[in-house]
Chains A and B, each alone.
Chain A
Amino acid sequence: KQEVTQIPAALSVPEGENLVLNCSFTDSAIYNLQWFRQDPGKGLTSLLLIQSSQREQTSGRLNASLDKSSGRSTLYIAASQPGDSATYLCAVITYNNNDMRFGAGTRLTVKP
């Protein structure tokens, strides 16, 4: 069964700092990995999707990398802003089960 872990569970940084969020997974036979953002009491907003054949994806100040062989992904946020404060979740879809499994998330606070 796929297990997804996110470290750290919470992170607080001053505005303007660059930061990295980590996601690891136990079964490397994945279709893809997707990063989401969730604001309190809301649904999930898709940020980036990385296919299993890709190494990274970029969208604006966000860059996500994937190392399938080691079961790791990172989400890099450049020049963080208070509006980036949210919980960031990663999810993977594996070949075996075809379902989408989530980590517990990293709660990010960016202080003005």
Chain B
Amino acid sequence: DTGVSQDPRHKITKRGQNVTFRCDPISEHNRLYWYRQTLGQGPEFLTYFQNEAQLEKSRLLSDRFSAERPKGSFSTLEIQRTEQGDSAMYLCASSYGANTEAFFGQGTRLTVV
């Protein structure tokens, strides 16, 4: 197992386009988190899944942002009608339960032009 994998690593898109990111967690990790991070800030919570159930999401994830985790394996994060303010690093993490170590992927850097 090579750890948490995110794809793509970089994405440049024009304002108004839709983008989708993928996260493959460590196998058998039932928890999966998504975060957004801008320069100089800590990761900002977006949502998390326990298996295939989306248990919590921030107010950012209502409207243009949506996330799925079909069958409790990989997850996708979609941003519709991208805006320049969406430019950030999108991070994914996984863990086995709430009380174990979480591991992060390398992130997807989104640039909206």
Binding site for B on A (CB under 8 A): 4, 6, 31-32, 34, 36, 41-46, 49, 51, 89, 91, 93, 97-105
Contacts and interface: CB of A to CB of B under 8 A. Distances in A.
Interface string B1-12: 000101000000
Interface size class of B (residues with CB under 8 A): 20 to 34
A98 B56 contact: yes
Contact of A45 (B6, B98, B104): B104
A99 B107 contact: no
B99 A42 contact: no
B56 A89 contact: no
B45 A99 contact: yes
A51 B106 CA distance: 25
Nearest to B103: A46
A89 B48 contact: no
Given A98-B50, A102-B42, 13 more contacts: A31-B99, A43-B104, A44-B43, A45-B104, A46-B102, A46-B104, A49-B100, A99-B45, A100-B33, A100-B93, A100-B102, A102-B44, A104-B40
Contacts of A101: 45
B63 interface: no
Nearest to A9: B40
Contacts of B42: 4, 6, 89, 102-105
B33 A34 contact: no
A32 B101 CA distance: 9
B99 A44 contact: no
